C-alpha cells in the first residue's frame, strides 16, 4: 500500500497541474497572430482564447472583447471549451475524493483499505481530468497547425501557438502524473491477512463417552 509521502507528492502535483489548467482556461493567449511573411504589421498583436479575443498595441495597451455568439464559434473551439470545463470539474471533484482517502487526513472512514480505495478513486478521476485537458489542448493545437499551413487562409489571418496551450500541456501532464501516484494507493495484502478464528472439527463417531 502506498505511503503517505507518495500520496502527498501525487496530490501536490495534481493540485499544481489543476491550478495551471484553471489559468490556461481563463487567459486569452491560446493563439497569437503570426509574423510569418513580409507584409505583416507588427504594431499590434492579436490573441484569441476560449472566451474572448484581445488586441495588444505596441504601446502596451490591451483591449479585449468577449465572443458575441456561442453558436457562431467553430466546432473545435466549442469542443475545447466543453473539454476544459469538464476537466476542471473532474479535477475539483477528485481533490475532495483524494483528500478523504489520504492517510494523512482523518476525514472519511477509519478502515485503511477503504481509505486506500478512496484515494485510488481520486487518482483515477485526476487521470481522466488530465486526459480531457490534454485532448482539448492537442485538438486546438492541431487546428492552429492546420490553418497555418492551409493555402485557403490568408497570411494576415494565420495564428501560432500561444502560451496558454503550453501551460495546458504542462498542467495536463502534472495532473496525470499526480493521479497515477495516487492510483498507487491500491489496497494491498493488509486487508486479506487478518486474524482467522480456528475451525472446530467434529469428534469422530467412534469416540465413546464414559460416565
Question: What's the pLDDT tens digit per position in 53-73?
Answer: 888 877 777 788 888 777 778
Domains of the chain plus CATH, in order, are 4-27+70-183 (1.20.140.150)
d(CA 204, CA 35): 95
> Rounded to whole angstroms, what are the CA distances from 180 to 17, 133, 173?
13, 16, 11
* pLDDT at res. 40: 54
Question: What's the pLDDT tens digit per position in 71-130?
Answer: 778 888 889 999 999 999 999 999 998 888 777 767 656 677 788 888 888 899 999 999
What's the pTM value of the predicted model, to 2 decimals?
0.79
CA proximity to 13, closest of 163, 202, 196, 176:
176
Q: Is the pLDDT of residue 16 over 90?
A: yes
Amino acid at each position: 500500500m502506498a505511503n503517505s509521502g507518495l500520496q502527498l507528492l501525487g496530490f501536490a502535483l495534481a493540485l499544481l497541474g489543476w491550478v495551471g489548467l484553471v489559468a490556461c482556461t481563463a487567459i486569452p493567449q491560446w493563439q497569437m497572430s503570426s509574423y510569418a511573411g513580409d507584409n505583416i504589421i507588427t504594431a499590434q498583436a492579436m490573441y484569441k482564447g476560449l472566451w474572448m479575443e484581445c488586441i495588444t498595441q505596441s504601446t502596451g495597451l490591451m483591449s479585449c472583447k468577449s465572443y458575441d455568439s456561442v453558436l457562431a464559434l467553430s466546432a473545435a473551439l466549442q469542443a475545447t471549451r466543453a473539454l476544459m470545463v469538464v476537466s476542471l470539474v473532474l479535477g475539483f471533484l477528485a481533490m475532495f475524493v483524494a483528500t478523504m482517502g489520504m492517510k494523512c487526513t482523518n476525514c472519511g472512514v477509519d478502515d485503511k483499505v477503504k481509505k486506500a480505495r478512496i484515494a485510488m478513486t481520486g487518482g483515477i478521476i485526476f487521470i481522466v481530468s488530465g486526459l480531457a485537458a490534454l485532448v482539448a489542448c492537442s485538438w486546438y493545437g492541431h487546428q492552429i497547425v492546420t490553418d497555418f499551413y492551409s493555402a485557403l487562409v490568408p497570411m494576415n489571418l494565420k495564428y501560432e501557438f500561444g502560451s496558454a496551450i503550453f501551460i495546458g500541456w504542462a498542467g495536463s501532464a502534472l495532473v496525470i502524473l499526480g493521479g497515477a501516484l495516487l492510483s498507487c494507493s491500491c489496497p494491498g495484502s493488509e486487508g486479506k491477512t487478518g486474524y482467522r478464528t480456528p475451525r472446530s472439527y467434529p469428534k469422530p463417531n467412534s469416540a465413546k463417552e464414559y460416565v
